Each structure stands twice: as structure tokens, then as C-alpha cells.
């Protein structure tokens, strides 16, 4: 019987594997419009759009540096002991490939993450070395670099000196929920304290002020409620000044069968709806002036799977309506279902020009979303 010798993967094969595996980390982009959805390039790489701090967006080359990992995060398909093809890129390989894409104008930025090789700081050293090679090659564009849980302050500061944006995933709301996801990491030491450190360094007046700081929750792997997640998100925005919080629905079959969320009442489809509802709440908090304690929840502390949270709030507060389109303030208009920021800007512009609004048709084409406003407004 002939001996089968498996060749080590070359750089192209490593990138095929690692860019595919990077899809499990969505903290750089989430689509609310068709322009924001990830897509595959012609050579099967994942290309991601991301909104820039100053407006507009750019396309990112996204990959892991390695899918080898010593951590046991039960929700993660790449956890220690799982049966996947393991490989690791050298920092020089990653930098060279990215620059070829960048010079060909296929991408204009990089999102770089990694499984944990040996320990957090050893992994951060590789990530930072790849970023340093790019900066020394005169690349001045957008780089989103992952902070590995448990990384030292020195490693984090080095990353911030190179990055345009960083993220460290919070994973779930609270230590009790976190303990159910694995034993290799400590919630306070490896997650919360580093997030607080990054916040101090990146907020106004900090040493690295202006660097974008994001995080991500995994939805449904533990028994956290939507109330738990919304409360933590509120604190991350209001107390720590994060740029953005992302949500990723856990899908059964990718992680361990021992997860508490495996025994929940949510199906995979419902978990995706939960993710969508949490993004809607995130928008209400960040853009529409809602407080966390105003978000309508059921008796179990979860959002409705059937209805938009803004509509749920409106139905629970009939005393607030109707809102007069000709004299209501912007904050009141933002509370009206069906009215978004673009339509409200149009309303304010018409009023500034002295035009009296007499019907929804005065605002432009009345689509399904805008028609929702009809029962909540007057003229």
C-alpha cells in the first residue's frame, strides 16, 4: 500500500482556508443595505465593506493569521480540539498578499484577526508584525486589528499605534453567561479590563484618541436575554465610548452540543431574527435617542420576534401620538414608526422653505415603510 504524503499548504491555500474561517467574526461589518454586505472576490476571498469614521466606506481584505487556537470557546467552530484543517500564515506572507490586492485596487483596507497561537501576546506579536510590515511599506490606509483576549497592556498599545480600528469581542453579557462558553478565559481579566483599557486610550484626550473601538456579542450560545445584551451595550456606548457594538447569531451545529443555548427555545432562524432586532435597537440607541430602559421587552426580557421595537414602543405609548409633521421637533419625529433620518431631513427642509405638509405624498414616494407612519401623524 503506497504511503500518502500530505503536502503543506502554500500561501494561496492557506489564505483560502483562513479567509473562509474568518467569516465567523463579523465585528468589522454588518449589512443594513446592499452596499454593506460582504461578497466573494473572483478568487474566492471574502471582501467586506466597512463604514469609515469620516463617512463613506471602503472594502476590506479579511482573513485570520491562523485558525490554530488554544482556547475552548464552545460556540466557536475553530476551538481547541475541533476537527478542522489548521494552518498559519507568516506575517510576511499576509503582508505580501494584501499589498498585491491593494496595489491592484481590489481592496483598500485590511481586517486581521487570528486564533490564539500558544498565548495571547505571542499571537499579538504576529498580528502587530504583519501590520508593522505594511506600515513600513508606506501603506497608510485602513487597518482593523483584532485584540486577543488576555493580551498585555504593552501588546495592546503596540496594536493601537498601528491600527485604524481595533476590536476585542465581549462575547456575552456577564460573567455567569461567559463561564458557560468555556474555561480557558477569565471574563474580568481577559475581556472587561482590556476593553476598559482600550476605551481609556482611544477616547477623546486619550493617547490614541480617534482609533475606532468595537466589540461583538455572540447571540444565543448562552442563556443571556436581550435585556442583558441591551444593558451591556448601553454601558459600552455611554460609559466606555465604543464606536460600535455588533451582534452575531450563534448557529447550532457549529459549536459544542453542551452549550446552554442549545437547550433554549430559539431555533436557528429565530436567533437570526434576534440578531436583526438587536441591530434595530442598536440603531434606536445610537441614532434615534432612545434609552436602554425604553426598549419594549416581553416578560422573559426578550425582544419581539414579530415586530420592530420602534413600532412596539409606539403602540405602548399612545399618549405620545399623533405627531404633527409641520411643527414637531426632530426628536419627536424620530419616534414615529416609518420615519427615518432621510425622510425627517426632507420634512425639516420643506418646513424651512415654508412648505406646509398636507400628506405623506408631499414627502416623496410612499413605500411600505413610510406608510407605517400614517396612524401616528397629523398635519
Same-domain pairing of 321 and 305: no
- Is residue 302 situated within a structural domain? yes
Residues, the chain, total?
379
Q: Check whether residue 66 and residue 99 sit in a common domain.
A: yes
101 and 120 belong to one structural domain: yes
Distances in whole angstroms, Cα of residue 357 to Cα of each of 314, 350, 369, 371: 22, 8, 18, 15
* Cβ-contact 190, 155 below 8 angstroms: no
Residue 344 grid coordinates: 425627517
The domain boundary residue, chosen from 290, 309, 328: 309
What is the per-residue pLDDT across 96-135, written as a single tens digit (0 to 9) for each? Answer: 999 998 998 888 899 999 999 999 999 999 999 999 999 9
More confident residue, 42 or 298: 298
Residue-wise pLDDT for 126-159, tens only, equals: 999 999 999 999 999 999 999 999 999 999 999 9
Tell me, yes or no, whether 235 lies in a domain.
yes
159 with 230, same domain?
Answer: yes
- Parallel, antiparallel, or unpaired: how do β-strands 142-146 and 323-324 relate? unpaired
In a domain, 2, yes or no: no
If asked whether residues 178 and 250 sit together in one domain, one would say: yes
Expressed as residue numbers, the domain containing 235 is: 11-309
| Residue from 28, 15, 52, 16 nearest 248 by CA | 28
pLDDT for res 29: 42
Average pLDDT over residues 199-219: 96
Q: What percent of the chain has pLDDT over 90?
A: 70
Domain count, the chain: 2
Per-residue pLDDT tens for 282-293? Answer: 999 999 999 999
- Tell which residue, 232, 277, 276, 216, has the closest CA to residue 75: 216
Shared-domain flag, residues 305 and 324: no
Listed residues 309, 340, 370: the one ending a domain? 309
55-102 residue pLDDT tens: 566 678 888 999 999 998 888 888 888 888 898 999 999 999 999 989
In CATH, what number is assigned to the domain containing residue 337? 1.10.150.320
Does 215 share its domain with 322? no
Same domain, 227 and 200: yes
Q: Based on the domain organization, do 143 and 228 belong to the same domain?
A: yes
In a domain, 1, yes or no: no
Q: What's residue 263's pLDDT?
A: 67
Alpha helix locations (H) across the chain?
Answer: 11-21, 91-103, 120-136, 153-162, 175-179, 193-202, 226-238, 268-287, 309-316, 330-333, 341-352, 368-371
Amino acid at each position: 500500500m503506497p504511503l500518502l504524503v500530505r503536502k503543506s499548504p502554500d500561501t494561496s491555500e492557506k489564505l483560502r482556508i483562513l479567509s473562509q474561517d474568518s467569516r465567523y467574526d463579523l465585528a468589522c461589518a454588518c449589512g443594513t443595505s446592499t452596499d454593506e454586505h460582504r461578497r466573494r472576490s473572483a478568487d474566492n476571498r471574502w471582501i467586506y465593506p466597512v463604514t469609515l469614521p469620516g463617512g463613506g466606506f471602503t472594502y476590506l481584505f479579511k482573513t485570520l493569521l491562523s485558525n490554530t487556537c488554544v482556547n475552548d470557546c464552545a460556540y466557536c467552530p475553530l476551538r481547541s480540539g475541533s476537527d478542522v484543517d489548521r494552518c498559519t500564515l507568516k506575517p510576511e506572507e499576509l503582508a505580501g498578499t494584501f499589498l498585491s490586492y491593494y496595489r491592484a485596487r481590489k481592496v483598500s483596507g485590511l481586517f486581521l484577526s487570528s486564533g490564539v497561537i500558544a498565548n495571547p501576546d505571542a499571537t499579538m506579536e504576529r498580528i502587530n508584525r504583519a501590520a508593522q510590515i505594511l506600515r513600513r511599506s508606506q501603506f497608510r490606509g485602513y487597518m482593523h486589528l483584532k485584540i486577543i483576549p488576555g493580551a498585555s497592556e504593552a501588546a495592546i498599545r503596540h496594536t493601537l499605534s498601528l491600527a485604524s480600528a481595533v476590536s476585542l469581542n465581549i462575547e456575552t453579557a456577564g460573567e455567569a453567561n461567559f463561564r458557560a462558553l468555556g474555561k480557558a478565559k477569565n471574563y474580568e481579566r481577559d475581556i472587561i479590563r482590556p476593553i476598559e483599557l482600550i476605551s481609556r486610550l482611544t477616547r477623546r484626550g486619550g493617547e490614541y484618541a480617534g482609533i475606532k473601538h468595537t466589540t461583538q456579542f455572540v447571540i444565543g450560545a448562552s442563556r443571556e436575554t436581550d435585556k442583558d445584551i441591551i444593558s451591556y451595550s448601553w454601558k459600552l456606548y455611554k460609559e466606555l465610548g465604543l464606536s460600535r457594538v455588533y451582534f452575531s447569531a450563534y448557529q447550532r451545529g457549529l459549536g459544542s452540543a453542551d452549550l446552554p443555548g442549545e437547550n433554549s427555545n430559539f431555533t436557528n432562524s429565530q436567533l437570526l431574527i434576534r440578531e436583526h432586532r438587536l441591530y434595530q435597537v442598536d440603531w434606536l440607541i445610537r441614532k434615534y435617542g432612545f434609552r436602554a430602559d425604553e426598549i419594549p421587552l416581553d416578560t422573559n426580557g426578550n425582544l419581539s420576534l414579530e415586530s420592530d421595537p420602534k413600532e412596539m414602543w409606539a403602540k405602548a405609548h399612545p399618549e405620545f401620538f399623533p405627531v404633527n409633521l409641520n411643527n414637531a421637533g426632530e426628536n419627536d419625529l424620530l419616534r414615529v414608526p416609518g420615519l427615518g433620518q432621510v425622510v425627517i431631513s426632507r420634512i425639516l427642509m420643506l418646513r424651512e422653505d415654508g412648505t406646509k405638509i398636507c400628506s405623506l405624498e408631499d414627502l416623496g414616494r410612499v413605500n411600505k415603510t413610510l406608510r407605517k407612519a400614517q396612524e401616528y401623524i397629523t398635519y
